[in-house]
């Protein structure tokens, strides 16, 4: 059954990708990209990667699509006729694709339990991590503990993204006269959003702290919390959102999250272990792992929330500016 | 305590310093702080190099998890040597950038600039030190994102399109590396480079591994701007702020060359890459074309930054040529050239940035008569230019010398001759600029302008690099010792791994 | 019971496919949005049902995220039309 | 199959049926406003029925709470989205079938 | 037949990757390029997740009575890669906004003509 669903979803994905190639209406392209993201997240669920699906749905279909829409609002909806020749790109793509197909021929068969991937390194994560780290969610164990350095890098990547966006766009405080932004005429939307937003923030907190036991964690929680505020800003307008959390504050928050993460590493060095060695954080190694993971997940959550919201602010304030002019 | 964590510090230090530099906010504060952090990283990497030279290899398990399960940081002579160059250049450029940036970047973005610089440094150090193939990708992206930001900070609008093109190419390159690493992982089940090396040999002829090798090579080639994939580099270097160009030209591509060396010599093994796949000939051909095509392009440009950017692509050709000779001397020539070229290009771009600071243009016409107005800057430019050409007593001579020696060792007269002919082009493009600076008069229209020597804050780092150029041209003991042990180390590990493979196979057969 | 769940999953997939076709090709922009929206809500139901089918129903969190993102996407689209004319 | 399973199957199948009819409506109805009507009404009923069917499969634990949460969420957001979309379409100048061809309508009324 | 069953997943994923890659290198509009980049990367993620799947296995979160879990390591890698992807997208899109303001267009062939070579 899983294989059948997989096949149907893959077919839908292939059709969507093909359609995107030929569409000239960029709004439709972005909508289909949102669908593409949704579909690939479904495939991830189907292939047992629930944490990944969580992230892909909230990031790919949520944040990326919203950012693309805001960009389109400023750059226009129509793709003009290209003067480039299509022969060379097609040739490059065919060669690359042929190389990949050639590479697949010696691949281990799909889903076979004897594949090298399942024989080396991973068995320890599956068998030992519940004992060594003490969490039922192996993905969180590997993410936060075994490969905690990667995750620190990931947090820094997000942080560098906000540095880039802020240096390019900046967030300008909007003036009094354009307070009338937002979807003023949609009264039902106002009411419903105000009901939903607290629930979403509650859900984000649940995802943040339940990530050790089920799908979720700092990254997903940060994105969902940011999504709640983005909804608020979309419906009520940026100035009102600025009044709740200002862009300058978010900038500090983003930095603070990275520092919180890194400080766990420094503290473990001070305690005599290696960088990010959570075993040293408490007398009992398992408890130490717990403390370490909770703190670093919090750091990730804070940074991701602040960065995603600040990026949206930067795009949004640009859009409002170009709209006024 | 520091001794124990020496391996991790060059990454962690700039990584933690970056958010603090953002919080500091004020331009001067974050400048001082960033310089301090970078300087400390330089000191640590100096110690790291001496430790690596005496101990051979230093391994550090992040999080206390043993290598194939956790992420390993692994330092040997090769990466400690490149790391030393990267941190040194970063510190010097930061000192230099305080004045340079004031002219070229909006005041509101100054602390963002220093933050991005630190992030870029952290990314580059991470790429160099990590011993884990996926961790390398993460740090590659940190440094790339910071680089796109840095390039787009200039005030000229063309920096935006340059940065965008760089972003698209760079992301394609990174995704190719991701595909390649995925294919390797699929076949071996591991991401640790040493572990990969041991396990890849068991699958030597596998099509999946070969495809993975091809994708990693193409991806890294984009990042290091190997000839047909170099199109992003000239615009990016031309339109970025001068301090950024000085930093990137002397570090980013070098680090990518190191990644290529690491993958070829440690992960895949020489026999696999050069004998089975025949990559040696391809790399050599591309390198030779790069040297000639891009040296020629450099001679016909009118923007001096573009001239130097094309020259960089050509110089990368020399590095690839060295490693494609597959000998200890050839690899050593590559390593020396990575180091020396960082010194030369750093000094040259700093000098050009100084000219932009005073004159406001880097067109070759703007250099007319500057020999008198800015004597120290132009003297620095001249010496570094001579080093690019490869005049004796400069660092450039040393790297070319070893390259030619390596070619002659194998009786490869053609390559040796090509290297020497390539240098002739360098005489032309450096000569054009020097001619304008020393033998042309400052045009009447500009004589009223107050063009004078730049501040010592910009001159000192520039001259430190120039003196280093001369020093390493005269006293070659440090560079050759480090490069030689790096290159021998790489060949040694390669041999050990290949022997291991033979033993491992026989064990498998017997069991 | 598994058969019923499987049948339900397949049927939802068919509905999703129909919504997808609407999103591919539609008479007006609004129809496209409608198709995308319908695709989103059906996906939520699909995740919920397939979780029970696969025997691990504790992944309903993902369905919540889908519902949330779908709604935010719709609001973003509406906001988008405040800036640009929807008529092609 | 016990009683709850039978009820649950009936609910599921009914929900799927409504979902399917909504999708058909998306294609078969003549103008946008009728299509929005078809889609949004069936969306809600399908969500109620399918999630109701699934609720009977749970053993009243955290999953039940989550399902109820999803149901409430869909019941609030889905009609809101459809409403806002229709409103936006109206403001954007889209006309109903009756408005675009008044003659046809009068003729058919006779 | 088993050959196809073993590999069909990878083949479709390769097709998706190449569709994304084609959009990146052939599109003239910068926004579409970024969309292509995202599709390309998302498909690479699928390659990783496919290799982590074990037939008959279940999501790597411990439950009573299950011994066969899918491989958690690719999931971790891809979580990181998704974040990297969205970071790149954000920076790319903000570059596009600035390009639009500076050149008045986001079509590659149009702003190429507005500047001198390089």
Encoding tokens for residue B119? 């992030």
Minimal Cα–Cα distance from A204 to chain D, Å? Answer: 14
pLDDT for position D103: 56
Is pTM beyond 0.80 here? Answer: yes
Instruction: Please check whether residue A159 is in contact with residue E88, taking contact to mean a CB–CB distance below 8 angstroms.
Output: no
Kindly determine whether residue E91 and residue B149, on different chains, have CB atoms separated by under 8 Å.
yes
Q: Between B508 and B326, whose confidence is greater?
A: B326
Reported confidence tier of residue B504, pLDDT bands at 50, 70, 90 = very low
Q: What is the 3-state secondary structure (H, E, C) of chain D?
A: CCHHHHHHHHHHHHHHHHHHHHHHHHHHCCCHHHHHHHHHHHHHHHHHHHHHHHHCCCCCCHHHHHHHHHHHHHHHHHHHHHHHHHHHHHHCCCCCHHHHCHHHHHHHHC
Residue of D nearest to C15 (CA): D20
A105 vs B: CB within 8 A: yes
Q: What is the 3-state secondary structure (H, E, C) of B54-65?
A: HHCEEEEEHHHC
Distance, in Å, from the CA atom of B466 to the CA atom of B472, rounded to the nearest integer, reads: 10
Give A169's contacts (C-beta < 8 A, 6+ positions apart): A314, A315, A317, A318, E94, E97, E98
Spell out which residues of chain E touch residue C65, defining contact as CB-CB under 8 Å.
Answer: none
Domain ranges of chain B: 278-474
* Average pLDDT score over chain E: 87
Spell out which residues of chain B touch residue E91, defining contact as CB-CB under 8 Å.
Answer: 145, 148-149, 167
Kindly determine whether residue E96 and residue A71, on different chains, have CB atoms separated by under 8 Å.
yes
pLDDT of B109 higher than 90: no
Spell out which residues of chain D touch residue A186, defining contact as CB-CB under 8 Å.
Answer: 84, 87-88
pLDDT tens per residue across span D77-97 = 888 888 888 888 888 777 777
pLDDT for position A164: 93
B294 SS3 class: helix
Q: What integer is the mean pLDDT of B203-220? A: 85
- Number of structural domains chain C divides into: 1
pLDDT tens per residue across span B236-272 = 999 999 999 999 998 999 999 999 999 988 888 887 7
Choice among B130-144, B401-415, E58-72 with the minimum mean pLDDT: E58-72
Minimal Cα–Cα distance from E51 to chain B, Å? Answer: 7
Q: What angle do CA C24, C26, C31 make, to 5 degrees?
A: 105
Backbone angles phi, psi at B60, to 5 degrees: -135, 120
Kindly determine whether residue D50 and residue C30, on different chains, have CB atoms separated by under 8 Å.
no
Distance, in Å, from the CA atom of A63 to the CA atom of C76, rounded to the nearest integer, reads: 10
A219, C60, A140: which is closest to A227 by C-alpha?
Answer: A219
Distance, in Å, from the CA atom of C68 to the CA atom of A310, rounded to the nearest integer, reads: 20
Q: Give D83: exposed, middle or buried? Use CB within 10 Å, 0-12, 13-18, 19+.
A: middle
pLDDT for position C13: 92
pLDDT for position A121: 85
Distance, in Å, from the CA atom of E99 to the CA atom of E102, rounded to the nearest integer, reads: 5
Spell out which residues of chain A touch residue B213, defining contact as CB-CB under 8 Å.
Answer: none
Chain mean position to CA B118 = 16
Task: For residue E43, give Cα distances in angstroms to B357, B358, E70.
Answer: 46, 50, 19
Task: For residue E17, give Cα distances in angstroms to A50, B379, C37, E38, E42.
Answer: 22, 52, 26, 10, 8
Spell out which residues of chain A touch residue E40, defining contact as CB-CB under 8 Å.
Answer: none
What kind and span of H or E run contains B72?
A: strand B72-76
Task: For residue E12, give Cα distances in angstroms to A7, A10, A147, B211, B501.
Answer: 9, 7, 30, 17, 35
Give the CA count within 13 Å in the CB-facing half-sphere of D92.
23
DSSP code of residue B73: E
Give D105's contacts (C-beta < 8 A, 6+ positions apart): D97, D98
Crossing angle of helices B158-188 and B133-151, in 10° steps, is 180
Range of the domain at C60: 2-83
pLDDT of E6 higher than 80: no
Kindly determine whether residue A76 and residue C84, on different chains, have CB atoms separated by under 8 Å.
yes
Spell out which residues of chain B touch residue A146, defining contact as CB-CB under 8 Å.
Answer: 63, 65, 69-71
Give the CA count within 13 Å in the CB-facing half-sphere of A135.
31
DSSP code of residue A109: P
Minimal Cα–Cα distance from A280 to chain C, Å? Answer: 33
pLDDT tens per residue across span B456-479 = 888 899 999 999 999 988 888 888
Residue C88 domain-assigned (yes or no):
no
Encoding tokens for residue B318? 């020399």
Give the CA count within 13 Å in the CB-facing half-sphere of A36.
34
pLDDT for position A279: 86
Range of the domain at E95: 2-114
Kindly determine whether residue E38 and residue A21, on different chains, have CB atoms separated by under 8 Å.
no
Spell out which residues of chain A touch residue E7, defining contact as CB-CB under 8 Å.
Answer: 104-105, 107, 109-110
Domains of chain A: 1-120 (1.20.120.1200), 137-173+180-325 (no CATH)
pLDDT for position B505: 43
pLDDT for position B204: 61
Do at least 3 CB pairs under 8 Å connect A with B?
Answer: yes
Kindly determine whether residue B160 and residue E74, on different chains, have CB atoms separated by under 8 Å.
no
B236, B228, B213: which is closest to B166 by C-alpha?
Answer: B236
Spell out which residues of chain C touch residue E58, defining contact as CB-CB under 8 Å.
Answer: 54-56
Minimal Cα–Cα distance from C23 to chain D, Å? Answer: 11
Do at least 3 CB pairs under 8 Å connect B with E?
Answer: yes
pLDDT for position B492: 80
- Number of structural domains chain E divides into: 1
Reported confidence tier of residue B510, pLDDT bands at 50, 70, 90 = very low
Residue of B nearest to A111 (CA): B186
C72 vs D: CB within 8 A: no
* Average pLDDT score over chain B: 87
Ordered per-residue pLDDT tens for chain A, 325 residues: 778 888 899 999 999 999 999 888 899 999 999 999 999 999 999 888 889 999 998 888 889 999 999 999 888 888 777 766 778 889 999 999 999 888 888 888 888 888 888 888 888 888 888 888 888 888 888 888 899 999 999 999 999 999 999 999 887 766 555 545 566 677 888 888 888 999 999 999 998 988 888 888 889 999 999 999 999 988 888 888 888 888 889 999 999 999 999 999 999 888 888 888 888 888 888 888 888 899 999 999 999 999 999 999 999 888 877 665 4
pLDDT for position E40: 94
C25 SS3 class: coil
Minimal Cα–Cα distance from E52 to chain B, Å? Answer: 9
Distance, in Å, from the CA atom of A101 to the CA atom of B177, rounded to the nearest integer, reads: 17
Distance, in Å, from the CA atom of B467 to the CA atom of E68, rounded to the nearest integer, reads: 63
A44, A71, A30, A35: which is closest to A220 by C-alpha?
Answer: A44
pLDDT for position B410: 86
Reported confidence tier of residue B341, pLDDT bands at 50, 70, 90 = very high
Kindly determine whether residue E5 and residue A110, on different chains, have CB atoms separated by under 8 Å.
yes
Instruction: Please check whether residue B269 is in contact with residue B184, taking contact to mean a CB–CB distance below 8 angstroms.
Output: no
Reported confidence tier of residue C86, pLDDT bands at 50, 70, 90 = low
pLDDT tens per residue across span B153-199 = 988 888 899 999 999 999 999 999 999 999 999 888 889 988 888 88
Beta strands B57-61 and B72-76 are antiparallel
Residue of C nearest to E60 (CA): C56
> How many inter-chain contacts (C to D, CB under 8 Å) are there?
140
Torsion of CA D39, D44, D50, D55, to 10 degrees: 160
Question: What is this model's ipTM?
Answer: 0.93
Rg of chain B over all Cα atoms, to the nearest angstrom: 22
């Amino acid at each position: 059954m899983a294989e059948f669903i997989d096949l149907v979803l893959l077919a839908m994905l292939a059709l969507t990708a093909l359609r995107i190639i030929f569409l000239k209406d960029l709004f439709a392209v972005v909508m289909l990209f949102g669908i593409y993201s949704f579909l690939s997240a479904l495939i991830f669920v189907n292939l047992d990667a629930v944490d990944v699906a969580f992230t892909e749905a909230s990031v790919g279909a949520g944040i990326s699509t919203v950012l693309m829409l805001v960009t389109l609002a400023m750059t226009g909806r129509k793709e003009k006729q290209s003067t480039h020749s299509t022969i060379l790109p097609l040739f490059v793509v065919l060669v690359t694709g042929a190389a990949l197909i050639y590479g697949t021929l010696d691949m281990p068969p799909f889903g076979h339990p004897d594949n090298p991937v399942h024989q080396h390194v991973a068995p320890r994560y599956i068998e030992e991590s519940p004992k060594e780290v003490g969490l039922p969610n192996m993905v969180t164990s590997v993410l936060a503990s075994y490969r905690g350095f990667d995750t620190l890098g990931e947090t820094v990547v997000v942080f560098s993204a906000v540095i880039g966006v802020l240096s390019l766009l900046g967030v300008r405080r909007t003036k009094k006269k354009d307070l009338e932004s937002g979807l003023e005429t949609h009264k039902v939307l106002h009411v419903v959003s105000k009901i939903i937003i607290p629930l979403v923030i509650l859900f984000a907190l649940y995802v943040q702290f339940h990530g050790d036991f089920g799908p979720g964690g700092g990254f997903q929680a940060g994105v969902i919390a940011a999504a709640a505020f983005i909804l608020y800003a979309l419906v009520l307008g940026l100035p009102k959102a600025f009044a709740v959390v200002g862009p300058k504050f978010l900038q500090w928050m983003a930095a603070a999250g990275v520092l919180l993460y890194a400080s766990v590493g420094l503290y473990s060095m001070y305690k005599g272990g290696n960088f990010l060695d959570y075993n040293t954080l408490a007398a009992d190694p398992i408890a130490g792992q717990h403390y370490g993971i909770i703190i670093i997940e919090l750091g990730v959550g804070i940074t991701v929330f602040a960065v995603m919201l600040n990026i949206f602010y930067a795009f949004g304030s640009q859009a409002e500016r170009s709209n006024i002019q | 305590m520091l001794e124990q964590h020496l391996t991790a510090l060059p990454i962690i230090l700039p990584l933690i310093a970056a958010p603090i530099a953002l919080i500091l906010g004020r331009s001067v504060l974050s400048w001082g702080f960033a310089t301090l952090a970078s300087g400390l990283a330089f000191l640590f990497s100096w110690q790291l190099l001496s430790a690596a030279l005496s101990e051979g290899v230093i391994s550090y398990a992040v999080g206390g998890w043993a290598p194939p399960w956790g992420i390993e940081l692994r330092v040997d002579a090769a990466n400690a040597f490149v790391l030393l160059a990267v941190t040194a250049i970063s510190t010097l450029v930061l000192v230099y950038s305080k004045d340079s940036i004031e002219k070229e970047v909006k005041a509101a973005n100054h602390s963002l600039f220093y933050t991005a610089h630190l992030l870029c440094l952290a990314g580059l150090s991470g790429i160099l030190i990590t011993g884990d193939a996926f961790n390398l990708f993460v740090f590659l992206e940190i440094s790339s994102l910071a680089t796109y930001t840095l390039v787009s900070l200039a005030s000229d609008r063309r920096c935006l399109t340059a940065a965008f093109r760089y972003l698209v190419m760079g992301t394609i390159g990174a995704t190719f590396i991701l595909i390649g690493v995925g294919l390797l992982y699929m076949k071996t089940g591991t991401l640790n480079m040493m572990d990969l090396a041991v396990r890849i040999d068991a699958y030597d002829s596998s099509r999946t591994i070969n495809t993975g090798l091809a994708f990693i090579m193409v991806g890294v080639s984009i990042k290091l701007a190997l000839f047909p994939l170099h199109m992003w580099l000239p615009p990016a270097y031309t339109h970025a702020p001068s301090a950024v160009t000085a930093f990137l030209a002397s570090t980013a591509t070098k680090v990518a060359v190191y990644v290529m060396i690491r993958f070829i010599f440690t992960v895949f093994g020489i026999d696999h890459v050069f004998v089975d796949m025949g990559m040696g000939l391809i790399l050599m051909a591309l390198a030779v074309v790069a040297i000639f095509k891009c040296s020629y392009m450099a001679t016909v440009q009118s923007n001096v930054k573009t001239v130097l950017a094309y020259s960089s692509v050509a110089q990368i050709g020399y590095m690839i040529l060295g490693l494609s000779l597959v000998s200890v001397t050839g690899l050593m020539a590559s390593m020396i050239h990575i180091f020396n070229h960082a010194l030369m290009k750093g000094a040259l771009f700093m000098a050009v940035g100084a000219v932009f600071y005073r004159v406001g243009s880097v067109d070759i016409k703007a250099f007319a008569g500057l020999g008198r107005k800015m004597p120290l800057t132009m003297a620095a430019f001249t010496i570094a230019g001579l080093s690019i050409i490869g005049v004796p007593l400069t660092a450039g001579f040393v790297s070319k010398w070893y390259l030619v020696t390596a070619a002659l060792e194998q009786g490869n007269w053609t390559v040796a001759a090509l290297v020497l002919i390539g240098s002739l082009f360098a005489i032309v493009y450096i000569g054009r600029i020097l001619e304008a600076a020393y033998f042309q008069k400052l045009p009447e229209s500009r004589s009223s302008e107050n063009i004078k020597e730049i501040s010592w804050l910009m001159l000192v780092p520039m001259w430190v690099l120039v003196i280093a150029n001369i020093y390493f041209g005269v006293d070659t003991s440090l560079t050759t010792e480090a490069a030689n042990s790096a290159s021998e180390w790489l060949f040694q590990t390669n041999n050990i791994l290949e022997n291991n493979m033979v033993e491992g196979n026989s064990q498998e057969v017997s069991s | 019971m598994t058969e019923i769940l499987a049948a339900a999953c397949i049927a939802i997939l068919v509905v999703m496919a129909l919504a997808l076709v609407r999103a591919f090709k539609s008479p007006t922009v609004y129809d496209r949005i409608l198709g995308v929206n319908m695709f989103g809500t059906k996906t939520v139901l699909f995740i919920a049902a397939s979780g029970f089918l696969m025997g691990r129903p504790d992944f309903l969190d993902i369905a919540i995220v889908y519902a949330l993102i779908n709604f935010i996407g719709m609001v973003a689209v509406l906001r988008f039309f405040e800036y640009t004319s929807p008529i092609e | 199959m016990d009683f709850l399973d039978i009820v649950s199957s009936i609910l599921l199948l009914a929900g799927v049926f409504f979902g399917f009819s909504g999708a058909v409506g998306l294609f078969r109805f003549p103008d946008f406003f009728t299509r929005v009507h078809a889609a949004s009404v069936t969306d809600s009923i399908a969500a109620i029925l399918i999630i109701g069917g699934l609720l009977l499969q749970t053993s009243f634990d955290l999953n039940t709470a989550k399902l109820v949460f999803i149901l409430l969420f869909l019941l609030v957001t889905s009609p809101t989205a459809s409403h806002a979309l229709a409103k936006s379409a109206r403001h954007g100048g889209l006309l109903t079938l009756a408005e675009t061809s008044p003659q046809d309508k009068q003729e058919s009324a006779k | 037949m088993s050959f196809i069953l073993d590999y069909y997943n990878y083949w479709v994923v390769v097709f998706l990757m190449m569709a994304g890659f084609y959009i990146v290198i052939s599109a003239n509009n910068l926004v579409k390029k970024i969309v292509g980049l995202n599709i390309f990367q998302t498909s690479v993620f699928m390659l990783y997740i496919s290799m982590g799947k074990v037939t008959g296995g279940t999501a790597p979160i411990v439950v009573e009575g299950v011994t066969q879990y899918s491989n958690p390591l690719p999931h971790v890698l891809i979580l990181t890669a998704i974040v990297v992807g969205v970071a790149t997208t954000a920076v790319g899109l903000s570059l596009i906004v600035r390009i639009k303001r500076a050149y008045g267009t986001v079509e590659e062939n149009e702003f190429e003509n507005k500047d001198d070579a390089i």
